[in-house]
Structure formats: structure tokens, C-alpha cells
A and B are shown apart, each in its own frame.
Chain A
Amino acid sequence: METFTPSVSFLVAFAGYMLFVLMVGFYAARFNRDIKDFYVGGRQVGSWVTAISASASSESGWLVLGLSGLAFVEGVSAVWVVVGCLGGYLINWFLVAKRLRRMAVRYDALTLPDLLEARTGGHSSTIRVVAMVIIFTSMMAYVGAQLIAAGKTFEFTLSSFGVDYRWGVLLGALITITYTTAGGYRAVAWTDLIQGLLMVIALVVVPVVAITSLGGPARMFQILREEPAVDRAILSYQAPSGAKRFLVFEQGGGYIVPSEKEDQPWLASNTPAPGALARVNLLDGSRVDLVPIETSGEPAAWPMVLTKGSPVTLPAGGTEVGAGDPLTYHLYSGHELIDLKRRTSGLAWWFLLLHGLGIGLGYPGMPHVVNRFIAVRSDRRIKMGRFIALFWGVFAYYGAVFTGLAARALVLRTPLIDPEHAFLRLNAMIMPAFLGGLMLSAAFAAMRSTADSQLLVAASGITRDIYQKVLGGTLSRKGMLWLSRAAVLVLGLSAMLLAAGGTKRVFNFVLYAWAILGGAFSPAVLLSLYWKRMTRPGLIWGMIVGAVTAVVWKEYIRPGFGLYELVPAFFLGLMVNLLVSLATNPPEDTGEGMVG
């Protein structure tokens, strides 16, 4: 178990920042008179807030923890993901933003379903209900993932005070829910501006300090290149006590054996052992039980075969780890850290590039990102915004990758970390206390800035799209405002409960929701803006097929094939939208709202 003891000044910086964010949220609350204020800031938002908040919302805890963790594990080839993602930035800011804003103004749209409905010729409950189901389910999972990231961060920081993961989830959720409920879009966008700036500063400062301490970037790449060809497999899992435990295997003499460097001594027993915490299936069909050394008695016979890339699973009933507890397995391949075209562990470079491009394809369809373009004040603000956003994206993305690489170079000999702790570990190692507290706040900021926007979008789906537009609800302006606040509160608390029960990898969880949203809405938004012939049935079937493809691919095809689900989801969704549109009668309002 990793240990980290924060100093008082570290905690002061951390707590002070949290308080500051809350105050901003309450200040923003004074501006809310109706749901137009609550959901799109009265459509009066400027370039800095739009650019940074769009970026901070799209790059969540995944960027700070997940992407740096990917670079930690994969080495330099993580850059392919960055290339794809920044491609998404270019698409969103150069092709989507301006047209989308103009269309939103023309139709007086407050939400993405508003816009899609208006674009295909007026009232349609089907569009709203389909869009709402997709948004609601994905957003809840997505917000849950952010809170999981908050829980992990908190656990890492305050475990020496006996504070665990669940407290992190609770704290992250309560702060986010409080200011989002009070201040709505303005609170979300203003805090996102602050959090986005803090994120990018942290993602530049932390790796710069680390790389300087290593002796410069050339030296860092040299260290990574010279790492001995040691393959390490790390099993991490949640022990019944709630603590996270690791079991490390290293390669020796053709076998992978348990490492002696492991700080939590474990032995593996190849006969069923009464004190076993987990049983692992090996590739050769045999099983081992993982037994705490203090209860195991005799050591098991080693070495045993755990082939590189072995699937490690927990058989039903074969473990005393609580049902549903995750056991994750990762293989480290030291000697390929500086290989841009690595092909081991199933991640060839072009796979990572497709993966990144897949992520990039999702940008135009993220309701919590494109609603920034609905809320921005003018075209001028968009032009300023794209300049700011592109700078932010380049520094933040490359900063995250350099963070992972620097962490790997610094902790080469002690790889006992959850890869998603790379940023936190590095921060704790190299930053002075007060600054370290601020940098840690950046990790929290990344999660909150995404979770708050998503809560707001999910709440707008319930109040604006379902209650007001589908059910024809007629609450007063003030009533709608309070209903919206109640929706944020209930959704936030539900996501908190969801997160408190799980500890999945943030990266995977986020990317799943991203794929469903991107598969459903990216083709829909792009065609809405650029293809007059798109019809309502085309839009609806495209959304359904995009979302369903993402789920089916992820659950049934990806385990054997590997390609990120958003790639097929996007193209199938696009194709179905095109074909169904061509097969149905052209819309009467042939894209009247399409203004270039």
C-alpha cells in the first residue's frame, strides 16, 4: 500500500482551494433568475470562460490520472492518443462551434436535444426521449467515474489519517453538488475556468520540475531507454479491509515470479489455502491462491508459469475477495518504453492512434462540451476561444504524457503503484508542500469540472427536455429554476452512491460513456450542421444505432478485437443517419437554420 503523509501547508492549500471554489459557486447563484440563466448562463458567456470550461469539462480526471497513467505504462507511444484527441479539438473549434452557436440562437435552443429537434422541423418527443435516455445513462456513469477518481485521489492523499476512498467520493460529490445546485451554469463555467487554469498549470509545472530533476528531457528518454528488460505484472485489488493491495510478478529465467520488492508480502499457494484472498487462473489452466504471508505457513513451489499477457480472472466462488471486487492485471514491459511503434501487450501504435482518433471523433457529440457553444455570447468569442482552447489542449495533453513518462523514469525501480497514481505520486515526490497541495487540488479540479457540467446537462435533460417539452410542464420561471436545482441534487447524490460502490479504472469507465455519447451524437451534430438533407428518422435511427453499437462492440467484440468502440459506433451511426435520411422524405424546413 502506498503511503503519503501530507504536511500542514499541503492541507491548507488543498482545503483553501476547495473553499474558494464553493465561494465562487455561491456568488454565481445571485445571477440565476430562470432556467436560461441556470443552464446556459443567459447565453452571455465570454471567450476565456467558454474555452477553458469547454476544455476542462471534456478533459476530466481521465486526463490527469488516466492519460498520465497510460504514459506511465505504455511509454512514449501514449502520444498517439494525444494526437487523436487534439484532432477532436480542431474539429470542435473550427468546424462545429460557430455554426452550432448560430443555430442555437436561431432556434432559441438551450440543450442539445432542443437543437436536434428544432433542426429537424419542430416538436418531436421521440428525439428528446431517445436523446435523454442516452444522455442520462451515460452521464450518470460518467459522473460516477469522476467521483471514483476523486475517491482515489483522496485515498492516496489522506490514507495516513485513516481516511479512505469512500470519504473521497463523498467529499468530491458534496462540493460539486453544492456549487452546481446553487449557481447553475455560471457557477460551473466560472469554477471550470479556475479549475481548468489550475489543471494546465499543474500539468506543466509537475512534469517540468520532475524532468529538470532528472536532468532534462534527453536524459529522461535515455533513462527510459536504458531500463532493463524486465517484465512486470501487477495485480491490484481491493482487499476485504477496503485497502488496495498489489501483487507483483517479475520475469526471471523464462518465468514470471512474485517480486521480492513487494511492500505487502504475499505468497502464492498452488493448493487451495484457507486464508486465500484471491484465486488466480493461469494460462496453463492451473490456479494459484494469493495468500497473505502471515497466514500461509509454507511458501508455495515457485517459479510457476504466468505467461506474458495471461488472462487473470477471478473464478466464481474461488475467492474470498468480496463479490464484484475488481482484480486488475497489468503487464509492464520496461524495454519498450521509448518505442513509438510498440506492438506488445496488444497495443500496437496504430491501435493507440485509432484509439485517440476515436476519442477525437467524440468531441462534437459531447452534450456537456457543445453546450458551451450554445452559451457563448458571440462569434467573436468563439474565435478567441479556439485560440485559447488549442493552447490549453496542447499544454494539458502533453503535460499529462510527460507526467507519466517522468514518473516512470523516477520510480523505475519501484513500480508498485497503481498507474493512475502516476501524477499524484510524482507530485508528492517532487513538489514543495504548499504547491503540492495546490497541484493535488488540480487533480480534484479535473474531476469536478467534468462532473459539474455533466450533472447540469443531465438535469437539463430531465427538466427542460422531458418535463417542459415532452410532458408539457407549466411551472413558473422560479418553479423551473428550483426543479432544476432539485434535479442536480438528486442526480448528484445518485452518482455518489454509484461511485461509492466501485473502484474501476477511471480511464475505461470514462471512455465507455464517451463512446456511447460520441456514437449517438457526434454524427448527429455534424450532419445537423453540414447536411441539409438530414431527416428526423435519419437522426433518430442514427443516434440509436450509434449508441447501441458502442455498447455491443464494447461488451461482445472488443474483448477479442481490441478496437475502441467509438470508431465503429461513429461510422455506423453516421451511415445509418445518411441512409435513412436518403430513404425518407426530405424535410420541409431544409436546414433553414443552417447558417455558415
Chain B
Amino acid sequence: MSAGIIFWYLVFPLGLLAVAVVAHIADPPGKED
């Protein structure tokens, strides 16, 4: 597998999931408003 495929098919999607997790931790939903 080329580096490009590894990046776009593995690193990029995992990175997006990491963004979701980090955003969730940094700005937690908190209690119902």
C-alpha cells in the first residue's frame, strides 16, 4: 500500500474521529439547559 492510501484511508478517518473525541472532551455537553 502506498503512503497516500495509508494516509487517506487510515490516518485521515482516524484523525476525524479524534477531532470528534477532542471536541467532546474540550466542550462537553454538560447538563440539560
User: Chain A residues in contact with chain B, CB under 8 A?
Assistant: 47, 76, 79, 83, 86, 90, 94, 217-218, 221, 338, 340-341, 378-381, 383-384, 386-387, 390-391, 393-394, 398
Contacts and interface: CB of A to CB of B under 8 A. Distances in A.
Nearest to B31: A380
Contact of A383 (B1, B4, B9, B28): B28
Contacts of B31: 380
Interface of B: 1-2, 4-5, 8-9, 12-13, 16-17, 19-21, 23-24, 27-33
Contacts of A381: 29
Contacts of B16: 86, 390, 393-394
A90 B20 CA distance: 9
A245 to B, nearest CB: 35
Contacts of B4: 340-341
A83 to B, nearest CB: 7
A217 B20 CA distance: 25
B17 A390 contact: yes
A398 B13 contact: yes
A76 B2 CA distance: 11
Nearest to A389: B20
24 contacts: A79-B9, A83-B8, A83-B12, A217-B1, A218-B1, A221-B5, A338-B2, A338-B5, A340-B2, A340-B4, A340-B5, A379-B33, A380-B29, A380-B32, A383-B27, A386-B20, A386-B23, A387-B20, A390-B16, A391-B17, A391-B20, A394-B13, A398-B9, A398-B13
A381 B27 CA distance: 13
B3 to A, nearest CB: 10
A384 B2 contact: no
User: 6 tightest CB-CB pairs across the interface, nearest first?
Assistant: A390-B20, A383-B29, A380-B29, A340-B4, A387-B24, A79-B8
Contacts of B28: 383
Given A76-B9, A221-B5, A380-B33, A390 B27 contact: no
A390 B19 contact: yes
A90 B12 CA distance: 14
Given A383-B28, A384-B29, 11 more contacts: A76-B9, A340-B2, A378-B32, A380-B29, A380-B32, A381-B29, A383-B24, A386-B23, A387-B20, A387-B21, A391-B20
B31 to A, nearest CB: 7
Contacts of B8: 76, 79, 83, 340
A383 B32 CA distance: 11
Nearest to B30: A380
Contacts of B2: 338, 340
Contacts of B20: 386-387, 390-391
Contacts of B33: 378-380
Given A380-B29, A387-B23, A76 B17 contact: no
Contacts of B5: 76, 221, 338, 340
B23 to A, nearest CB: 7
Nearest to B3: A340
A79 B1 CA distance: 15
A384 B16 CA distance: 16
A204 to B, nearest CB: 12
Contacts of A391: 17, 20
A562 B17 CA distance: 32
A558 B20 CA distance: 36
Contacts of A86: 16
Contacts of B23: 94, 386-387
B27 to A, nearest CB: 6
B1 A221 contact: yes
Contacts of B29: 47, 380-381, 383-384
Contacts of B32: 378, 380
Contacts of A379: 33
B16 to A, nearest CB: 5
A401 to B, nearest CB: 8
A227 to B, nearest CB: 15
Contacts of B30: 380, 383
A83 B8 CA distance: 8
A341 to B, nearest CB: 8
A587 B17 CA distance: 41
Given A83-B12, A380-B33, A394 B1 contact: no
